[in-house]
């Protein structure tokens, strides 16, 4: 017995050394926030200099590239980045940043096609590295880690072994205000032996803690105030991770270090903070009639036809649910993610997919009726009127399609950017914006261009491309990221008025009677303007108290109630005539897309975090 106890004691003493011995010493580099741009040669030069110095450095086993590799997320620029990164002698692993996910002309599919995927997994000398996307995808919001990526991380770490060391790689820091579901991620990975998160985004060195888990943010590769590009170097020793900044032509400087054995957090604990759902107790008459956790990210709004709800998701599924209770009726899988909101009419549901196709399905059973092929991913939302579906795609083409036959009635190819918006269809026009600073008006009958509006916008990022235009009183109303509301003459495309008074961004909504437009400001409020007249006239402004806000979720009026939503899971209802707050309800902590109001007391919603549901206000 004594001998047995002695052996157990010695094993307990030696175990930490045995664990340490599982990983050998090695060195790797990190490049982040490269921001290649076709209009600026400096980032290209900065990256070339960093690649050359990394190639001249001894013992670099591999390189992590942690997002924002481009300025505008386009395929052509990503290909140029890859050409430059391919000059590295060491193998490199790359993930997306928000500049590849928010302004992607391919719905982020080009990134995966060019670099082999949107996440990576590899083991190196006893340490597991997992890299994943932290969004936001196509919608202006906080970052978000989708449910399927959280499941993937846990599965990979289970296979690797819960006690073996893991380094997680992302672009955003896992903090409140950066990633909306940071707590879900930290709670999911906490039971494992997470040694470090590595990221970028802030363009400066930061030593952080994500609910106790160490997190490093590295400086941008772009030249600093001294004109020096730079990157990170990590030395993995037997018991430590040593973190350095490496400026071009200078010795590396250590600025952080972490133990590979010391515990930094309670592996049985929980996040230090969770979102506040107390608003739901203030309005107990608002109930979730039903809610479905789909397990996949959702970036589009729901569409309805009679007793059915249609939702597209990040995994390429178009799913049909029963409107009454949320029961799943059928699904159809396209080749890649669905970003644009579908539409349904006459027993046919139409949607576009990033797999470069537009689909028409039988809404009763999901059977494929027809397919229209595009040259690039189809990211636009659909509007159907009188049996015609109107939809824009990433191939700079806007199409009108007969929903019964799939025949393309006309195609307008004069667009200079990609299209994601839901088009406005009027008596004789189709109006939509694109990521080229332009709002287009086409003849509904033949697709001929009637006018284009740019409003003096000169930056792609200011395009009226995410807003869903509305029309009344002979005017089209839009908002844009330059933070203006604009009224445009619907006949000739001339600006009637444009105001920066309310600091709005990319949301607009029309009252049921057409006399008012609504918009969401970037801080707390909904504003209401008159549609009549040739000058901006604010009718009311209501402080809803949702805080800083920039999500492109439109306002909708039904039954005298105006509904809206936010990037942090809040749905709210106002009295449409006065702006009086009627109720608020928090679903989760991620973006709620434009809701669909059934009447003044029921509203359908989808959330980036994968929820589909129906809210009901009880008497």
Taking only the tens place, the pLDDT of each residue in 55-106 is 999 899 999 999 999 999 999 999 999 999 999 999 999 999 999 999 899 9
Q: What is the overall mean pLDDT for the chain?
A: 95
Residue 368: beta bridge partners?
Answer: 361
Q: Is the pLDDT confidence value at 5 over 70?
A: no
Q: Are residues 254 and 356 in the same domain?
A: no
Cβ of 209: how many Cβ atoms within 10 Å? 15
Euclidean distance between CA atoms 501 and 498, whole angstroms: 9
Neighbour tally for 270: CB within 10 Å: 12
Domain contains 279: no
Q: DSSP string spanning 136-165?
A: --SSSSSB---HHHHHHHHHHHHHH-TTSE
Q: So what's the pLDDT on residue 58?
A: 86
Total domains in the chain come to: 2
Is the same domain home to 250 and 364?
Answer: no
Q: Check residue 22 and give its pLDDT.
A: 57
CA nearest to 303, candidates 615, 551, 600, 598? 598
Last residue of a domain, one of 209, 227, 259: 259
Residue-level pLDDT at 24: 83
Tokens 């400086």 sit at which residue?
Answer: 219
Count CA within 13 A, CB hemisphere, residue 133. Answer: 23
Distance from chain centroid for Cα 112: 16
Pairing relation of β-strands 438-443 and 429-434?
antiparallel
- Contact yes or no for 120/113 (Cβ under 8 A): no
Sheet holding 484-489, edge to edge: 470-472, 475-480, 484-489, 495-499
Do 346 and 236 share a structural domain?
A: no
Does residue 9 form part of some domain?
no
Are 252 and 356 found together in one domain?
Answer: no
Does 112 reside within a domain?
A: yes
Which tokens hold the place of 16?
Answer: 């930490």
Domain residues for the domain of 451 are 340-419+421-457
pLDDT digits (tens, 9 = 90+) for 123-145: 999 999 999 999 899 999 999 99
Please indicate, yes or no, whether residues 357 and 211 belong to a single structural domain of this protein. no
Q: What is the CATH number of the domain that holds 121?
A: 3.60.21.10
Residue-wise pLDDT for 22-59, tens only, equals 568 999 999 999 999 998 999 999 999 999 999 999 89
Alpha helices in 256-415, H assignment, sequence order: 279-282
In a domain, 303, yes or no: no
CATH of residue 390's domain is 2.40.128.630
Does residue 437 form part of some domain?
A: yes
In a domain, 227, yes or no: yes
**Confidence (pTM):** 0.93
String of DSSP letters for 547-597 = EE-------EEETTEEEEE-TTSEEEEEETTT--EEEEEE--SS-B---EE
Predicted pLDDT at 6: 40
Final residue of a structural domain among 222, 240, 259 = 259
Structure tokens of 202?
A: 């802030």
- Clarify whether residues 54 and 153 are in a common domain: yes
226 and 364 in a common domain: no
Q: Which of 232, 259, 286 is the last residue of a domain?
A: 259
Inside any domain, residue 391? yes
pLDDT in tens, 462-499: 999 999 999 999 999 999 999 999 999 999 999 999 99
């Amino acid at each position: 017995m004594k001998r047995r106890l002695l052996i157990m004691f010695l094993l307990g003493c030696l175990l930490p050394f045995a664990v340490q011995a599982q990983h050998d010493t090695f060195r790797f580099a990190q490049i982040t926030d490269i921001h290649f741009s076709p209009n600026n040669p400096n980032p290209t030069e900065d990256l070339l200099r960093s690649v050359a110095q990394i190639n001249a450095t001894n013992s670099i086993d591999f390189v992590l590239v942690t997002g924002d590799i481009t300025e505008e997320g386009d395929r052509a620029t990503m290909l140029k980045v890859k050409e430059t990164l391919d000059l590295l002698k060491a193998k490199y692993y790359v993930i997306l940043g928000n500049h590849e996910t928010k302004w992607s002309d391919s719905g982020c599919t080009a990134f995966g096609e060019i670099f082999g995927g949107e996440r990576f997994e590899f083991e190196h000398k006893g340490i597991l590295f997992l890299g994943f996307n932290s969004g936001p995808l196509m919608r202006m919001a906080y970052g978000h880690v989708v449910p399927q990526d959280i499941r993937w991380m846990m599965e990979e770490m289970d296979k690797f072994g819960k006690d073996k060391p893991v380094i997680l790689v992302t672009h955003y820091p896992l903090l409140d205000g950066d990633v909306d579901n940071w707590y879900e991620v930290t709670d999911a990975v906490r039971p494992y032996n997470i040694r470090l998160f590595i990221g970028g985004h802030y363009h400066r060195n930061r030593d952080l803690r994500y609910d106790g888990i160490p997190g490093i943010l590295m400086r941008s590769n772009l030249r600093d105030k001294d004109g020096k590009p730079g990157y990170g170097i990590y030395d993995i020793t037997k018991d430590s991770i040593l973190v350095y900044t490496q400026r071009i032509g200078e010795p590396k400087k250590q600025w952080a270090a972490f133990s590979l054995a010391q515990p930094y957090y309670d592996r049985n604990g929980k996040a230090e903070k969770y979102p506040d759902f107390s608003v739901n107790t203030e309005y107990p008459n608002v109930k979730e009639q039903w809610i479905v956790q789909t397990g996949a990210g959702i970036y589009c709004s729901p569409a309805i036809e009679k007793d059915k709800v249609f939702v597209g998701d990040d995994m390429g599924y178009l799913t049909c649910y029963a409107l009454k209770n949320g029961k799943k009726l059928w699904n159809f899988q396209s080749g890649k993610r669905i970003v644009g909101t579908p539409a349904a009419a006459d027993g046919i549901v139409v949607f576009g997919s990033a797999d470069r196709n537009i689909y028409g399905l039988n809404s009763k059973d999901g059977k494929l009726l027809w397919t229209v092929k595009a040259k690039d991913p189809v990211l636009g939302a659909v509007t159907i009127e009188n049996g015609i579906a109107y939809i824009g795609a990433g191939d700079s083409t806007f199409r009108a399609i007969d929903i019964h036959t799939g025949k393309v009635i006309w195609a307008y190819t004069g667009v200079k950017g990609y299209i994601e918006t839901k088009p406005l269809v009027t008596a004789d026009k189709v109006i939509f914006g694109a990521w080229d600073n332009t709002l287009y008006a086409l003849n509904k009958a033949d697709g001929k261009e009637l006018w284009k509006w740019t409003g003096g916008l000169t930056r792609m990022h200011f395009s009226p491309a995410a807003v869903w235009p509305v029309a009344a009183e002979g005017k089209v109303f839009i908002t844009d990221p330059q933070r203006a509301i604009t009224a445009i003459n619907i006949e000739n495309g001339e600006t009637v008025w444009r105001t920066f008074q309310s600091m709005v961004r990319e949301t607009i909504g029309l009252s049921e009677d057409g006399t008012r437009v609504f918009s969401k400001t970037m801080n707390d409020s909904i504003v209401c303007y008159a549609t009549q007249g040739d000058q901006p006239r604010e009718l009311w402004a209501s402080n809803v108290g949702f805080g800083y806000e920039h999500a492109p979720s439109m306002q909708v009026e039904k039954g005298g109630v105006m509904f809206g939503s936010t990037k942090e899971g809040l749905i709210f209802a106002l009295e449409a005539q006065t702006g009086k707050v009627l109720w608020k309800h928090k679903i989760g902590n991620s973006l709620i897309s434009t809701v669909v109001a059934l009447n003044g007391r029921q509203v359908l919603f989808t959330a980036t975090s994968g929820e589909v549901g129906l809210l009901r206000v009880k008497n």
